[in-house]
Structure formats: C-alpha cells, structure tokens
Amino acid sequence: MKRYSLNPSSFSLVETEEFYERKAKKGLILEKRGHYLSRFRKEEPKNLSYRVEIVDDKRLEDGKIPEEQILVYEECGWSHVCGKRQIQIFSAEKDTDPPELYTNPEDQIESIKILRKSFLKEFLSMIVTYAILFAIQTAGYPKRSVGAYLRFISDGVYKVLIDTPAFGFLLFGTIALGIGYYVVGMISSQYLILKLKKGVPLRTITPFEKVIRIWKKGVVAVFVSAVLILGLIEGSTSVRGDTPSSFEGPFVTLEKLHEGEFQKEESSDAYEGKYRSRKTIFGEVIKTQEFSDRTDGYSSLDQEVYLIKSQRIRDRLLESLKVSLYYGIVVSDFEEVIVDGLDEVYVRNKWEIVAVKGDLVLRTFYHTDKEPSRESILLKISESLNDTSVSRSE
C-alpha cells in the first residue's frame, strides 16, 4: 500500500531527516520524493536514520546522482534512497551506528550555498517570467507608457478585489505566499551558512523556519479563513437568472432602452439574457448581459453595477473602471459629460459609459445597429437609476 505526505520545506534539512525517521518508525518507508510530496510504502516499523545531501545540478546525470558518489556513501554504511534535483536522501539502520557524512561543520557550507543558489535561480526565473509577460502585455497596450501600464495593472487588481474578494484574496495571497517561500528559503540558507562558519553542527542548528513558524501559521490561518469567509458570503448571496428585466435593480435593460419597440421572445434564439448578483464585504455587485438579434436590427447590452457605501472605496473603484479595458480594446480615453440626475458620467468609444449616482457605480457597454442618440441612452440610464433611488428611499 502506498501512502503520500507533504514534504517539509527544502531549506529545513534537519526537519526533513527527522520527518522521514518518524515515518519509518510508523512503518512508512520512503520510496520516492517529489517537489511537494513524498511517497511511502507500508512495511514493518523500522529504526532508520536519514540524511539529506545537497548536490550540484551539474553533477546529476539524467537527474540522478553519480554512481561513484553513491558508492562512497555506501562504504560509510549509507544507502541512497531517492532524490529530487539538489535534494538527495540517504538512509541507514540506526543499530549499525553509521558514521556521519561530515565531521567538520564548515565542510557543509558549499552544499548549503548550492541550496541557496537554487532558491535564487528559481526566484529570478519567476521574476523574469513575470517581466516577459509584462513586456508582452505592454506591447499590446496601445499608446501607453510603462508607468501608465503599471497603473493599469494596479487598477485591474483593485477591481478584482472589489468584484470578487474571495478570488482576489486567493489569487494574490497565493502569489505572495509563493514569493515568500523563495525569500524565506534564501534567508534560511544564509542563516545555516553563518552558523556553520561558526562551527555549529548542522543537526544542532535551530531551523530558521522554526523561528518564524508561529508567524507563518498565523498568516496562513488568517489567509485561509478570509478566503473561506469571503467565499461563503458571496456564495450564499449569489442570485442568477436568464431575464434581467424580471429582477429589480439599479440597472438598464434592452426593454427599457427600446421602450415601446422591443419585443422580447424568451423562447427564441433571437434573445439571450443573463443576470448575476452577489453581496460582498464591500457592498453588492450586479452583472447583466442581454443580446437581441431580430430582423429589425440587433442590440447588445453588458452592465456591471456596484453598490458601495464607502466613498473612498467607491472613488477608487471609479478610477479603476475608467482605465480598465472593455473587450481588450482602447480607442480613446473617457470623456466626462454632464447628465441631469447623475453625479458623474464618463463616455468612451461612443457607447461605453460609466455613471455614478450616490453610492452606485454603473459601467455599461451598449452596441446596436439602430444608432440611437447617445443623449437618449444617457437619459434612459439617468431615469432608471433615479427611479431605483426613489423606490429604495420609500
């Protein structure tokens, strides 16, 4: 029977050895080590000693440690079990009292430097990957400087956090934890090097991770709890439907825009609609989509509505919406216009509109071949939002 278990961190060498020793006493004998998981086979409990050896990637042949190095260890009573890149695992029966692979702490410094270098290489590879993706995106973002694109990313991040806080916390928290892993790995490796230079045996050094473990557990616990709570709030308040006009809310519908001339046929392929709403820690988010393709013309209407009590958060969201892309295309910047009954209104690409009324922010993208006047569309939006405000106050 095979069993699997998460590995201790690669930079916690002594903890890794003790982890496999405890498993062996329970009858779980290490069989294979992966990047995150170790595989064990079930046998009779054994009293084994394990040692972690750090090797240079360049010395690996087809990902395996050289045979001559294995023979040297075997002559000392240690058998090679398995390994993953720099981390190679050896074991021996404790009853045989095998000699330590190193008697002088300073002899292990070069091995730890290899470990530190591996963390640095992985960290830099991640940064370079992000930089390449950033460069590609910048090249596809027309008529904008690098600074403006950085602002665009920042505003996009803010919009995700307001729109779906649970997903935002999960995504960006995971990225932060990943970066933190490499940073702690490099610091931990340097910590071991400094101790070894002072002549402290590796197996007596208190791992750096143990020093920060209580903080690490606290951060992870808060992160996981926040994601679960936010997800529960969003999931329990989520409402969906196929006909936006059947729901009350501070938004416009195709039926409202084409009042007196729009005939909705829900059973026909000529009309499609979606309605989604959910509450978050910041307020309420409503999204609608409608599309009509009839013989007398086609129309499409997409909307995002945010009801946010905090003026500071609402103003920051407004700035994010003004720089974000709709369908990935930017033809021009937003133009501010004045509309009776609305606090602020911005228009871009003719039919992309951002409107503010009290604690409500609405972004809508309207497209049609009927070419109604922009003024009539803005008037309908104002009427709809003000009617909603009146009904709510009553």
Tokens found for residue 203: 């197996």
> Looking at residue 257, what DSSP letter applies?
H
Dihedral class, residue 322 (left if φ above 0, else alpha if ψ from -120 to 50, else beta): alpha
CA–CA dist 117, 184 (Å, integer): 13
Direct distance between the N- and C-terminal alpha carbons of the chain, in angstroms, rounded to an integer = 68
Mean pLDDT of 261-285: 77
Reading the block at residue 152, the tokens are 């665009």
Contact criterion met (CB below 8 Å) for 299 and 254:
yes
Share of the chain above pLDDT 90, in %: 23
Top-level CATH class of 239-393?
alpha beta
Domain assignments of the chain as residue spans, ordered by start = 2-101, 107-236, 239-393
CA gap 378, 320 in Å, rounded = 21
Cα 80 versus chain centre, distance? 38
pLDDT digits (tens, 9 = 90+) for 104-127: 888 888 888 988 888 888 888 888
- Among 48, 49, 41, 54, which residue's Cα sits nearest to residue 13? 54
Our CA angle for 83, 88, 90, nearest 5°, is 105
332-358: pLDDT as tens digits: 678 898 999 999 999 987 778 999 999
329 DSSP β-pair partners: 326
Supply 299's token pair.
């129309």
Q: In a 10 Å sphere around its CB, with 0-12 CB exposed, 13-18 middle and 19+ buried, how is residue 316 labelled?
A: middle
Residue 32 to residues 6, 82, 97, 242, Cα–Cα distance (Å): 12, 6, 24, 51
Q: What does the pLDDT read at residue 260?
A: 56
CA distance 318 to 155: 10
SS3 content of the chain, % helix, strand, coil (to 5): 45, 25, 25
Task: Convert the pLDDT of each residue in 145-169 to its tens digit.
Answer: 667 667 777 777 888 888 889 988 8
pLDDT at 295 over 90: no
| 62-102 residue pLDDT tens | 667 777 778 888 888 899 898 887 888 999 998 888 888 78
SS3 1: coil
Element of type H or E holding 352: strand 352-357
Alpha-carbon torsion angle 372, 274, 295, 367, nearest 10 = 30
CB atoms within 10 A of CB 112: 22
What pLDDT is recorded for position 390?
Answer: 39
Helix (H, G, I), strand (E, B) or coil at 329: strand
- Identify the CA nearest to 345 among candidates 359, 329, 362, 328: 362
The pLDDT assigned to 123 comes to 87
